[in-house]
Structure 1
């Protein structure tokens, strides 16, 4: 779809290469493109895929808009401080310009010491006037930029409001499309009684994962292609930043073998690779959990979701939605804190990867900017 190209172009442009105003304007265009994508999704052959792309486009557009507004606010503050620091100098400068007049020429300025003094003063003014003109141009540029940045920020509220509304509409449509989907293959049928017994008898995630193979009926051999050659290349299942590495203690001193990612509220979580849904639902103190099996003896555990999609036993294509994060999208979430530091990312997703019966560092499998 056409809007995807715009989103990719926006994401490919480093923020450092954009001024705050340009970033905000580009993000507004991306949100408009996402709205077009939402309309186009109704007629798409694979509506779930189209709506997934639309939701992600809204997420990227909203994040870019907030980052652009933060950059605009920082730039405006810098210029305002600069102008305030130069206030006395600017007043003197304006006084000189007023005294000279708009069309002052060296030969029209008379000097009390006669022709020689007039010639010397004319030479001085001729040398100074270009510098004054440049100062005037620089001052006008700064004032115009401040005015433009304020105008962008004042108009951004409506753009953000429309973007949030469109994102929610896209998520609602996606939930319905997933519920209506009947074309996914099913590898096995769950046994609710066995699942309930396993959960009640489980005290650890490892114990639960080990018992998963015993709670199914009529299970067919796994048919998905092995993904060993994609180790280190899988996309992360959600947009966000890594808060804790594997084995790193949290605030309570608890260490877990998975990573924790901070995400925006309502962020969409997708399957990083084609996989069978081994489990969907609440588990221990992990909240709502989805466990995916891309290949035999490999499990991806995604915990901390607010809602989960799909049914146990279904085989999902790569990129399929598996759930959404909790929280509420905030209209005024445009603080000056850097996006890369996790500003506005109030939700956390726990990601664990298990090979056989043992956990491994998830970053061995997922592609990140770790270098």
Structure 2
């Protein structure tokens, strides 16, 4: 009997391990990032380069919202684990509380008496001295987990307000960015687009390859490019949008169609930016690709981004790295839809897709050779 109690005490003590509430800390850190993004938005209004400042602000809000979602997902998972653990141990908890209650309610002299006399009393005292610390440790562990569940639930309940503030902030930043781009007049113009030739090229084009081969026809008064060589950055360019790789080059989709570019899944209204300084060769609708942006970072290399909802910039402009190109489609969900349910991450929240193709001498090459595709 004494051996069994000693073993039980050892098990209880071993189970009473504290665990830092990392999930809650991450969610709080994400809330701080959203607050910092709001401050950044206020500062961007008076920045000398408002387009650059507002682009960084939009990215800051996107990063903060993503971190908040991830923090809440971790919090939901942690709460579910704790709740299931506590539910599975209801009988054990009830017995433990009963033992502790009886120890507290019984007078000390009664606890020290044993029917077999002084020897039994001494033995029971030794056993009790061994078991009591473990029981107390177990009680403290259960109390700590109950408190953690309470904190996690309160955190998730208050998250809707944080998310709403973040969504309002990013929407305000997008509007300000669109206005700043419309007001911008300081970008170098490498050539002027001939709208008639552009319309004729679009009407006569049946493939992206055919359109790309005729891009030079729509430019008038073109000057030589003076952009830095990007060959040495091959494989190190940042992807133009935050998201994940949905399909890689030449990987067939559900309809069995394989394209030479990659497809990225992104969240609605995500900001698309230039991965490197480049000439904006084309901006607008094309074939069945939706709105398309075609960049020329250097002679002979084209980067095609297709599937945007809103496009920025004017054909012929020279854009610096990180310049905003446009926004993905869709609409921002309400805060309740962003809150994870039962710890489930909604990958379906990345409902928009951006197609990325890289062409060298008008021949498609795998974009993975150019971009850090592990970022998504």
Show the 5 A alignment for 1:194-209: 194-209=197-212
Residue 116 of structure 1 pairs with residue 119 of structure 2:
yes
Q: Which of 55, 64, 70 is the equivalent residue of 2:73?
A: 70
Per the TM alignment, residue 22 of structure 1 is displaced from its structure 2 partner at its CA by 1.1
Residue 298 of structure 1 pairs with residue 301 of structure 2:
yes
Q: Which of 336, 342, 351 is the equivalent residue of 1:346?
A: 351
Match of 2:157 in 1: 154
Tell me: CA distance 1:19–1:91, structure 2 relative to 1, closer, same or farther (3 Å).
Answer: same
Structure with more relative contact order (C-alpha pairs < 8 Å, separation 6 or more): 2
Residue 361 of structure 1 pairs with residue 366 of structure 2:
yes
TM-score by length of structure 2 reads 0.91
User: For 1:323-367, what per-residue CA distance to the aligned partner results, in whole angstroms no more than 9, with x for missing partners?
Assistant: 00011111222333447xx34111000000000120000010011
User: For 1:228-255, what per-residue CA distance to the aligned partner results, in whole angstroms no more than 9, with x for missing partners?
Assistant: 1110011100000000000000111111
Return the alpha-carbon distance in structure 2 between the equivalents of residues 281 and 343 of structure 1: 27
Per the TM alignment, residue 20 of structure 1 is displaced from its structure 2 partner at its CA by 1.6
Q: Which of 40, 45, 56 is the equivalent residue of 1:42?
A: 45
Return the alpha-carbon distance in structure 2 between the equivalents of residues 196 and 109 of structure 1: 99
Show the 5 A alignment for 1:132-281: 132-281=135-284
Tell me: CA distance 1:218–1:102, structure 2 relative to 1, closer, same or farther (3 Å).
Answer: farther
Q: Is 217-226 or 255-264 further displaced after alignment?
A: 217-226
Match of 2:64 in 1: 61
Tell me: CA distance 1:18–1:224, structure 2 relative to 1, closer, same or farther (3 Å).
Answer: farther
TM-score by length of structure 1 reads 0.92
Per the TM alignment, residue 104 of structure 1 is displaced from its structure 2 partner at its CA by 7.7
| Structure 1: stretches of 5+ with no match in the other structure | 1-16
| Structure 2: stretches of 5+ with no match in the other structure | 1-19
Return the alpha-carbon distance in structure 2 between the equivalents of residues 327 and 102 of structure 1: 63
Secondary structure, in 3 states, of the residue corresponding to 2:313? coil
Q: Is 38-47 or 193-202 further displaced after alignment?
A: 38-47
Return the alpha-carbon distance in structure 2 between the equivalents of residues 255 and 223 of structure 1: 35
Q: Does the CA contact (< 8 Å) of 1:266 and 1:327 recur in 2?
A: yes
Secondary structure, in 3 states, of the residue corresponding to 1:299? strand
Per the TM alignment, residue 120 of structure 1 is displaced from its structure 2 partner at its CA by 1.2
Return the alpha-carbon distance in structure 2 between the equivalents of residues 19 and 102 of structure 1: 38
Tell me: CA distance 1:95–1:220, structure 2 relative to 1, closer, same or farther (3 Å).
Answer: same
Return the alpha-carbon distance in structure 1 between the equivalents of residues 310 and 84 of structure 2: 46
Secondary structure, in 3 states, of the residue corresponding to 1:369? helix
Secondary structure, in 3 states, of the residue corresponding to 1:101? helix
Q: Does the CA contact (< 8 Å) of 2:245 and 2:373 recur in 1?
A: no
Return the alpha-carbon distance in structure 2 between the equivalents of residues 304 and 196 of structure 1: 20
Q: Does the CA contact (< 8 Å) of 2:21 and 2:148 recur in 1?
A: no
Return the alpha-carbon distance in structure 2 between the equivalents of residues 190 and 108 of structure 1: 95
User: For 1:56-83, what per-residue CA distance to the aligned partner results, in whole angstroms no more than 9, with x for missing partners?
Assistant: 0000000110111111111111100000
User: For 1:10-58, what per-residue CA distance to the aligned partner results, in whole angstroms no more than 9, with x for missing partners?
Assistant: xxxxxxx972211110100000000000001012111111101100000
Per the TM alignment, residue 223 of structure 1 is displaced from its structure 2 partner at its CA by 1.2
Match of 1:334 in 2: 339
Q: Does the CA contact (< 8 Å) of 1:241 and 1:263 recur in 2?
A: yes
Match of 2:91 in 1: 88
Q: Does the CA contact (< 8 Å) of 2:160 and 2:339 recur in 1?
A: no
Q: Does the CA contact (< 8 Å) of 1:67 and 1:334 recur in 2?
A: no
Tell me: CA distance 1:104–1:127, structure 2 relative to 1, closer, same or farther (3 Å).
Answer: farther
